[in-house]
Amino acid sequence: MPTIFTHAVAALALGPSVQRAVRPLRLWALGAACAVVPDLDVLAFRLGIPYEHPLGHRGFSHSLVFAAILAAVVVAVFFRRSAHRAALGAYFFAATASHGLLDMLTDGGHGVALLAPFSNDRLFFLWRPIEVSPIGIDGFVSARGLEVLASEVLWVWGPALAVAAFLLAVRRRAPETV
């Protein structure tokens, strides 16, 4: 898995697509949270749930169905009166779904149950350039943690910056609808 910082960066890069719809700080905070929430499944280890279980690490919480459910809940709770619920739902879905997709680009772990609950098959992309992050603070604050962060800056942060710049440019030319 990439670090929580990188998951948040990916979600923030998509923010300019809907920023006009809400106050930016609220959008950034909820988007980053949606991108990080799937990794709360590491608590499954403490509950004795094995990695391969549908509720294990990189299981249901990394799926597209989970991304849709979380997006719907966030919009219903925080934006129920917004005229831009569909755009916000799409953004929070993309922010959450980006987590599993980024994990599928890492060089470690057992894959991602992207299609759960319909399939617990663990998937990876054929090309996996991102170094997998160690789980826990100790592994992250180490030489290995710095290697992982360097890999993420190259393969995620740079492209995320390009996506954000593109979306900002498009938004500047678009009419004031979203």
Contact 121, 58 (CB under 8 A): no
Distances (CA, A) of 52 to 126, 142, 150, 163: 20, 28, 29, 33
pLDDT digits (tens, 9 = 90+) for 1-29: 678 889 999 999 998 888 666 667 888 89
Beta-carbon contacts of 79 under 8 Å, excluding residues fewer than 6 positions away, are 22, 85, 88
Sign, Cα dihedral of 125, 144, 58, 64: negative
Q: Provide the pLDDT for residue 2.
A: 79
pTM: 0.89
Q: Is 153's pLDDT higher than 60?
A: yes
Average pLDDT of every residue of the chain:
90
pLDDT digits (tens, 9 = 90+) for 91-111: 999 999 999 999 999 998 899
pLDDT digits (tens, 9 = 90+) for 57-92: 999 999 999 999 999 999 999 999 988 899 999 999
